Amino acid sequence: MVPGQLIFVSGGVRSGKSTYAESLVRQANAKRNVYIASGVARDQEMAERIGRHQQDRAQDGWWTIEQPRQLSEALPLIHENDAILWDCVTTWLANELYEEFEEGSLCADTPGCMEQKWQELKNTIDALREQALTIVIVSNELLDEPLVDPAYQQWLGTIHQWLASRADQAFEMDNGLAIRRK
């Protein structure tokens, strides 16, 4: 089987990434549009935002998988020739790096933890490509921001470079405009 098309969409906060990514998935004309969401409702505002997004997607015929961590757990839920939108890498990375925050045992502080998660992510994306017609992956471009957490920015840069190298197409969103980079 020919691997599904991989499209990477990055850009700043509120740049139109998700809306553009949704349009790319719709253009795939798949039997089923799948939205893999990485957000976690850590406060009331985020819970309301997630609820609105779920309602909007349901009305538009999307099948949603809430998968804030361990993306590989979504694999059994994917059907052959689905069109997938994963939104977003930056949220997933924060969830993975800082899991167990309350318990004081961060993956970010555990040697080899993030390397294992990174390998699993690459394997999962490759496996998704074997099943899906199209995969659109969204991520925030934070590497131009002031340095807040070097580990987070280093991992994000590594992931972005890998995604861009593997992608059939890559777009950067700026003020609602898609700039094709690949």
C-alpha distances in Å from residue 83, one per residue of 86, 102, 175: 10, 36, 25
pLDDT at residue 108 above 80?
A: yes
**Binding residue per annotation — 87?**
yes
The pLDDT, as a whole number, for residue 45 is 79
Which residue matches tokens 């798949």? 30
**Binding residue per annotation — 16?**
yes
Q: Strand ranges (DSSP E) for 20-147? A: 33-37, 63-66, 83-87, 134-140
Cα torsion 84, 22, 49, 70 to 10°: value is 20
Number of domains in the chain: 1
Report percent pLDDT > 70 for the chain. 93
**Binding residue per annotation — 176?**
no
Tokens (6 digits) for 10: 């990055």
Range of the domain at 87: 5-180
**Binding residue per annotation — 72?**
no
Is-contact 42 94, C-beta < 8 A? no
What is this structure's pTM? 0.90
Tokens (6 digits) for 117: 């998660």
Is-contact 50 39, C-beta < 8 A? yes
**Binding residue per annotation — 18?**
yes
Residues 6+ positions from 39 with CB-CB distance below 8 Å:
46, 49, 50, 53, 68, 91
Read off the CATH number of the domain in which 24 is found: 3.40.50.300
**Binding residue per annotation — 80?**
no
Known catalytic residues are 53
Q: How far apart are CA 87 and CA 90, in angstroms?
A: 9
**Binding residue per annotation — 61?**
no
Nearest to 39 by CA among 53, 25, 58: 53
38-83 per-position pLDDT tens digit: 977 777 877 787 777 777 777 778 999 999 999 999 999 999 999 9
* 43-57, 87-101, 104-118: least confidently modelled range: 43-57
Q: How far apart are CA 155 and CA 74, in angstroms?
A: 22
